[in-house]
Each structure stands twice: as C-alpha cells, then as structure tokens.
C-alpha cells in the first residue's frame, strides 16, 4: 500500500482502526517531501516535532499542510515576506487549534505569494513554487505551495486562504479540489490579514469528500473573531449523501466568453454534460456586474491592504535597522527593505484610492458596485441552485511569464474574485485536461451558507467524471 496515495478519509479510518500508526503515516509523507520538494518548493518550513501524532479524532493521524500566512506557535509564520521572516507567533490560529484537536498532524508551512498577493507563488520573497504536473510551470497562487503539496502527495489535504481566488485558482492549476467557504464560515483569527472583508480560510484536497471532512473540523463560531458566524455547522460529510436534486444550474455568460482557452472550454463543456447526465438542468444566465469584478476587487482589496499593512513599520512588526533619521525614515527603510515589488505596488494603489479627492471616485464607487453585485446574485440564486464557470480562462502558465506584467497576473482572478466580493461559497474541482495534459477546473458557486449542497453536487459530479485522483510524481524538466 502506498500511504501517500490514500485520502485523508482513508488515513483517518485506518489510523483509528489500528491498521496504520500515525508515525508510519507521517514518515511516509515525509519521505516523499524529502525526495521531491527540492524540485517543487511547496514548503517554507517543515514540522520536526514528533510528539503530536494522534490516533483519535476525525482527522486521526492525518497530515495537513498549512499555508504560511496562518499562525502556528511552534513554527515560523512568514507570509513569505522578508518583513516578518523571523516571526514566531505567540498563538495558534483557530483553524490550527481545531486541526490539532481533531488529531491532525501539521506537516509544515507552505509557500505563497508575499502576503497572499499574487496568482503564481512567484512573488514569494524566498523562492517560487512549481507545478508538479510540469516543473517549468507555476502551481498558481497565492496558495500555490498548498496546492502543489496536495497534488504531489506531500500531504493529503492542506489549508489555503482565498481573498480573490487564492484557493481555487491554484487548486485548478494543480488539478485538486479547493473550497472558499462563505464569508464568516471559518474563523480568520490567526490568519495574517490581506483584505479582511474578503479573506477566508478553506481546504485543498484530492477529493471533495476530504474537503468536506476538513471544512467540518475548521468551520464554526469563534469568540476571538467577530465576523465568524454563530450558525450551526452541518455534518458536511454525511451531507454528501443527502440532497441529489435535480438542480437548476446556471452557466455565467460573462465568464464563458472568447477569453476562455479552447482546452478549458472543451473540458468545461464535458463537465456541464456530466451535470445534465445526472439529471440537472444547465442553462446560460447573466450576471451583468460580473464584468466589473476585477477592478472592483482590486480597488477594494488594495484599500484594505493599505490600512492592514500599516503595522509593518519597524516598531510592532518588521526589522528595525540601526541607521535612520527620525520616525518617518525608520518606517520608510523598514518597508523598502521588507516588502517586495508587488506588495509595494498594492500599497501605492491603496493609498491612492483612499486619498482625499479620489476616495469617492474609486473606493466608494467600488462599494456601490459591490452592493449591486450582491443584489444580482441574490436574484440569480432565486432562480438557480448553483452557478458555474471555469475557474480560470487558461491552464497552468510557464514561470517567468505573467510575473513580468502585473496586469497579466491580475487576469488570473477574472472569474474568481466575484465570489469574494459577494461572500458566497465557491468550489474548484478538476473537470478534465487541456491539449497539453494540464488540469482544467470547474467553479461551482452556491448561495451563502449552502456549502452542504455545494459539496454534495460536486461529490456526485466527481464520481460521474471519474478523473484520476492519484498523486502526481514531479518529473525533472
């Protein structure tokens, strides 16, 4: 038996039944990391602590990779930024506490774009991550390390964070499942903030069932996080067998235009055909404000970033160097040394959209558009159970291409940021391969708090499509 090819669900069952010891499991994954991660670059640091292997709980013995913008009190948490490269948080994020209490083992902290700003993991201050399907390509981002880790079999499941697409887009590029939950479903306590009105933590996994298993553990109210909901957490795993429809599914027209690559279009159509075979009705529909998603997202997210990153000034956070001339110079020097180019670009844009005289023209207008979007989605979910689109107009791209032009990089989120703007749950699931053999993914969106049915329909479609779910062994280019 190849332990690293098992799902989290299978590992937990075998660990509880005594068929596998948690130590064996951890060692098997560790050997794979040691063999292949030098080529992939999924991890920024590995857990060397031996004593937290457990054989009880829903995640007994399950290794989980955690994105390095989620706080761990025994491992550094860098957000892939020089400005906090030596930061060791004094507490665990709520999601980490819940994973550990459920019996999971944290394998290590995964690579990301600095502060989760980016779509390729090339903006990591340390090194880029690579796509296990083709090491010359990006795994997507910003949770590229988490997606690559799951894809390559370094861990059966991982946590990512999604502000504008950062769980779904890398999941799509690597051919794994990724879920951005409803805003407020999962506590953000201990997640290093990027744009807090969008940020949400969620699972990456090789099956929908594993994603359901992780969501069930991490979701729910947290008294340390005011936007976390008090709504009851359903049993998402049991829910997979519950509601089978038939459902009415809407394909968003604005997200299925000429910019969609032919290979992505073909695989998406296959998935829609799969839904029809299962008895669901699939119709085209329109969300007119969808065309505004990207600019609305960037204006708002940059504005929020500008105020959130103010804490990295060399006093509370960030390395303060000895030679400076007064407080302003100290802050400027800390930031100039600590922040990479993309972060600085966003801070400049954020300062601009919030400044007196421009605020109404940009930030306030973006807020108004966001309200329109919410209304249009509410109307759409009155008619449809689910809305679908491709996750990305293109498949995994080569390293050192899009990072040369910020505009091209931003286009990676053209279909994903809308779900963050309106706070709805959205899932990315593999639906085929393009002509180069690279994974293509379908995005399935549901009304707020409808994760249970969202996971159930995705689980059924996954069975219908029957794509390979084996771990991918990276080959030297």
Burial class for 265, CB neighbours closer than 10 Å (0-12, 13-18, 19+): middle
Could you tell me how many residues of this chain bind ligand GLN (CB under 6 A)?
14
- Strands 157-162 and 177-180, how do they pair? unpaired
Q: How far apart are the first and last CA of the chain?
A: 28
Nearer to ligand GLN among residue 198 and residue 433 (C-beta)? 198
- Tell me which residue of 48, 126, 141, 128 sits closest to 392, measured CA to CA: 141
SS3 state at 244: coil
Kindly give, in sequence order, each residue whose CB lies less than 8 Å from that of residue 388, ignoring residues fewer than 6 positions away: 249, 250, 251, 252, 271, 272, 275, 282, 442, 443, 444, 445
Q: How far is the CB of 9 from ligand GLN (least distance, A)?
A: 27
Nearer to ligand GLN among residue 186 and residue 471 (C-beta)? 186
Q: How far is the CB of 109 from ligand GLN (least distance, A)?
A: 16
- Do 208 and 172 touch, CB atoms closer than 8 A? no
Is residue 451 close enough to count as binding ligand GLN by CB under 6 A?
Answer: no
- Do 471 and 206 touch, CB atoms closer than 8 A? yes
Active site residue 55: no
Cα dihedral across residues 342, 143, 290, 407: positive or negative: positive
- Which residue of 183, 189, 194, 306 would you call a contact of ligand GLN, by CB under 6 A? 194
CA distance linking residue 251 with residue 249, whole number of Å: 7
- Tell me which residue of 17, 458, 4, 385 sits closest to 212, measured CA to CA: 458
> What are the start-end ranges of the E strands in 374-425?
386-390
Q: Which of 119, 120, 166, 289 is catalytic?
A: 166
Is residue 301 close enough to count as binding ligand GLN by CB under 6 A?
Answer: yes
Q: How far is the CB of 236 from ligand GLN (least distance, A)?
A: 22
Nearer to ligand GLN among residue 197 and residue 286 (C-beta)? 197
- Between the alpha carbon of residue 388 and those of residues 69, 183, 205, 456, the distances in Å are 29, 19, 20, 15
Is residue 472 close enough to count as binding ligand GLN by CB under 6 A?
Answer: no
Read off the tokens for 477.
Answer: 């280019």
> What are the start-end ranges of the E strands in 89-222?
105-110, 157-162, 177-180, 200-205
CA distance linking residue 264 with residue 253, whole number of Å: 15
Nearer to ligand GLN among residue 160 and residue 239 (C-beta)? 160
Nearer to ligand GLN among residue 189 and residue 384 (C-beta)? 189
Is residue 10 close enough to count as binding ligand GLN by CB under 6 A?
Answer: no
Nearer to ligand GLN among residue 114 and residue 434 (C-beta)? 114
CA distance linking residue 309 with residue 193, whole number of Å: 8
Q: How far is the CB of 293 from ligand GLN (least distance, A)?
A: 12
Q: How far is the CB of 49 from ligand GLN (least distance, A)?
A: 28
- Which residue of 37, 114, 222, 413 would you call a contact of ligand GLN, by CB under 6 A? 413
Q: Which of 142, 143, 161, 228 is catalytic?
A: 142
Is residue 179 close enough to count as binding ligand GLN by CB under 6 A?
Answer: no
Nearer to ligand GLN among residue 157 and residue 412 (C-beta)? 412
Residues 203-262, interacting with ligand GLN (CB under 6 A): none
Nearer to ligand GLN among residue 150 and residue 240 (C-beta)? 150
Q: Which of 14, 67, 216, 333 is catalytic?
A: 67
CA distance linking residue 254 with residue 38, whole number of Å: 40
Q: Kindly state the helix (H) or strand (E) to which residue 331 belongs, with its residue range.
A: helix 327-338
Kindly give, in sequence order, each residue whose CB lies less than 8 Å from that of residue 347, ignoring residues fewer than 6 positions away: 302, 305, 306, 309, 335, 339
Q: How far is the CB of 463 from ligand GLN (least distance, A)?
A: 29
Residue closest to ligand GLN (Cβ): 166
Q: How far is the CB of 192 from ligand GLN (least distance, A)?
A: 11
Residues 109-168, interacting with ligand GLN (CB under 6 A): 116-119, 142, 161-166
Q: How far is the CB of 32 from ligand GLN (least distance, A)?
A: 27
Residues 348-387, interacting with ligand GLN (CB under 6 A): none
Active site residue 67: yes
Active site residues: 67, 142, 166
Which residue ranges make up the site for ligand GLN (CB under 6 A)?
116-119, 142, 161-166, 194, 301, 413
């Amino acid at each position: 038996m190849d332990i690293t090819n098992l799902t989290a669900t299978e590992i937990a069952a075998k660990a509880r039944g005594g068929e596998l010891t948690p130590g064996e499991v951890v060692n098997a994954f560790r050997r794979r990391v040691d063999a292949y991660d030098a080529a992939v670059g999924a991890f920024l640091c590995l857990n060397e602590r031996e004593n937290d292997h457990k054989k009880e709980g829903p995640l007994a013995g399950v290794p989980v990779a955690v994105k390095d913008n989620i706080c761990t009190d025994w491992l550094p948490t860098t957000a892939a930024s020089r400005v906090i490269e030596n930061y060791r948080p004094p507490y665990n994020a709520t999601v980490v506490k819940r994973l550990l209490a459920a019996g999971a083992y944290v394998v290590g902290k995964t690579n990301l774009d600095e502060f989760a700003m980016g779509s390729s993991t090339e903006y990591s201050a340390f090194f880029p991550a690579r796509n296990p399907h083709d090491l010359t390509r990006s795994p997507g981002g910003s949770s590229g390390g988490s997606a690559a880790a799951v894809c390559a079999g370094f861990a059966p499941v991982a946590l990512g964070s999604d502000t504008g697409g950062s769980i779904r887009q890398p999941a799509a590029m690597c051919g794994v499942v990724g879920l951005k939950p409803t805003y407020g479903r999962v506590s953000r306590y201990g997640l290093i903030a990027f744009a807090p009105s969008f940020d949400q933590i969620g699972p990456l996994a090789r099956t929908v069932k594993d994603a359901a298993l992780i969501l069930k553990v991490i979701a729910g109210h947290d008294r340390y996080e005011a936007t976390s909901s008090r709504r009851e957490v359903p049993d998402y795993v049991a829910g997979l067998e519950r509601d089978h429809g038939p459902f009415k599914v809407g394909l968003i027209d604005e997200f299925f235009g000429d910019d969609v690559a032919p290979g992505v279009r073909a695989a998406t159509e296959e998935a829609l055909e799969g839904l029809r075979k299962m008895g669901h009705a699939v119709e085209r529909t329109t969300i007119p404000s969808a065309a505004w998603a990207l600019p609305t997202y960037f204006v708002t997210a940059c504005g929020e970033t500008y105020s959130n990153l103010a804490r990295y000034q060399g006093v509370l956070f960030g390395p303060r160097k000895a030679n400076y001339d007064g407080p302003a110079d100290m802050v400027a020097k800390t930031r100039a040394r600590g922040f990479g180019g993309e972060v600085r670009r966003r801070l400049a844009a954020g300062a601009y959209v919030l400044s007196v005289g421009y605020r109404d023209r940009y930030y306030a207008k973006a807020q108004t558009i966001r309200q329109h979007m919410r209304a249009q989605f509410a109307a759409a979910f009155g008619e449809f159970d689910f809305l679908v689109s491709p996750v990305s107009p293109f498949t995994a791209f080569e390293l050192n291409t899009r990072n040369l032009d910020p505009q091209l990089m931003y286009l990676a989120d053209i279909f994903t940021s809308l779900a963050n703007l309106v706070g709805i749950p959205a899932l990315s699931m593999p639906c085929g391969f393009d002509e180069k053999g690279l994974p293509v993914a379908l995005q399935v969106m549901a009304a707020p708090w409808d994760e249970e049915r969202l996971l159930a329909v995705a689980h059924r479609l996954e069975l219908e499509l029957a794509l390979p779910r084996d771990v991918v062994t990276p080959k030297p280019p």
